[in-house]
């Protein structure tokens, strides 16, 4: 529900994997992923603007070896408008 007001108002969200950094703790039990992302925002007149940001994701290695996301934070790049006025249908996957 936290993102219900974001996804219909933006488009083209993608992580920039080529510029992603992964830092793994010395014991291999935790990892921090820092990744830029891109998306498209919409002005009130319907025109588009670039809406980039960055995500930080903390992962914990489980006993069976899988990684579990235990915390995440996403923020827009400085100067990028918070408001986006798109109105597109979003289908949950």
Backbone φ, ψ for residue 86 (5° rounding): -65, 165
Amino acid 39: pLDDT: 95
Domains detected in the chain: 7-75 (3.10.450.50)
What distance in Å separates the CA atoms of residue 7 and residue 91, rounded to the nearest whole number?
A: 10
User: Is 70 exceeded by the pLDDT of residue 92?
Assistant: no
Output the CA torsion sign for 65, 69, 71, 77: positive
Q: How far apart are the first and last CA of the chain?
A: 14
Share of the chain above pLDDT 70, in %: 94
Reported as a single tens digit per residue, the pLDDT across 29-39 is: 999 999 999 99
Model pLDDT for residues 23-71, shown as the tens digit of each residue: 999 999 999 999 999 999 999 999 999 999 999 999 999 999 999 999 9
């Amino acid at each position: 529900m936290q993102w219900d007001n974001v996804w219909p108002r933006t488009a083209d969200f993608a992580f920039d994997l080529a510029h992603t950094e992964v830092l793994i703790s010395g014991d291999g039990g935790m990892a921090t992923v820092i990744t830029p992302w891109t998306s498209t925002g919409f002005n009130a007149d319907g025109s588009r603007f670039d809406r980039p940001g960055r995500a930080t994701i903390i992962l914990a290695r489980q006993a069976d070896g899988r990684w579990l996301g235990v915390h995440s934070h996403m923020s827009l790049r400085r100067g990028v408008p918070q408001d986006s006025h798109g109105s597109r249908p979003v289908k949950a996957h």
